[in-house]
Amino acid sequence: MSQAKALHLVFGVIGNATGLFLFLSPSVTFKRIIMNRSTEQFSGIPYVMTLLNCLLAAWYGLPFISPNNYLVSAINGTGVVIESVYVLIFLVYAPKKEKGRIMALLFVILAIFSTVALVSIFALKQEKKRQLFCGFAATIFSIIMYASPLSVMIPNGFGCFLGAMQLILYGIYRNNNDDVKKPTIDGNLEMGLANPHQPKQPAHVKNGQP
């Protein structure tokens, strides 16, 4: 074995060990979900997106896509199993609305993976094109995977922005309220009230007497 191949193997094993710890890190969260029989405020989106990333990376590492990357397929194949367990547990204990959303997202990511796999097999005959296409897909969805936890923060971010805009507008225009004069009680403004400036009529005129 050459020195380059030996280094490739050593760093590959270290990377796989690190990746395994990464995949196992949410186990504490899922232990809590199982004990409480509730997903509480946890989001299932990161685990579904990680599942897609593992599927694409494992596919990329297969010999007919990218030769000599069997360690990539090994760790990401393990990740597919682990993330599938996470998603299954989440679906069992999630509320009905959240369960429907995660199921829909799961169908989408399986459709994406199937599309990438079918295109790489049937549409791309050259090995380099196949490797480039699958590597590009794996990279894009890896970025999306790492950004997926922001799905919890984004709505609150918009809420903070809109709330700040309201406070700014209030600070700008609150002094203008002092310049607005209140309408006087007038017969033209208040229905059913006589004009206070109109002179009173005598009683016999008011009763219709001459």
DSSP string, 12-60: HHHHHHHHHHHHHTTHHHHHHHHHHTS-TT--SHHHHHHHHHHHHHHHH
CA-CA-CA-CA torsion for 89, 95, 100, 102, nearest 10 degrees?
A: -40
pLDDT at residue number 193: 44
CB atoms within 10 A of CB 119: 14
pLDDT at residue number 148: 62
pLDDT at residue number 93: 94
pLDDT at residue number 112: 92
pLDDT at residue number 187: 45
What single DSSP character describes residue 179? G
Instruction: Give the distance, in angstroms, between the CA of residue 7 and the centroid of all CA atoms in the same chain.
Output: 39
pLDDT at residue number 164: 67
For residues 51 and 81, what is the distance between their CA atoms, to the nearest angstrom?
9
Per-residue pLDDT of the chain (210 residues; tens, 9 = 90+): 577 777 767 877 887 888 888 889 899 999 999 999 999 888 888 899 899 999 999 999 888 888 878 888 899 999 999 999 999 999 999 999 899 999 999 999 999 999 999 999 898 888 888 889 988 888 888 887 776 666 555 755 555 656 666 777 667 776 665 554 555 444 444 444 444 455 555 555 444 455
CA-CA-CA-CA torsion for 118, 119, 123, 126, nearest 10 degrees?
A: -100
> How much is the pTM?
0.68
Amino acid at 163: G
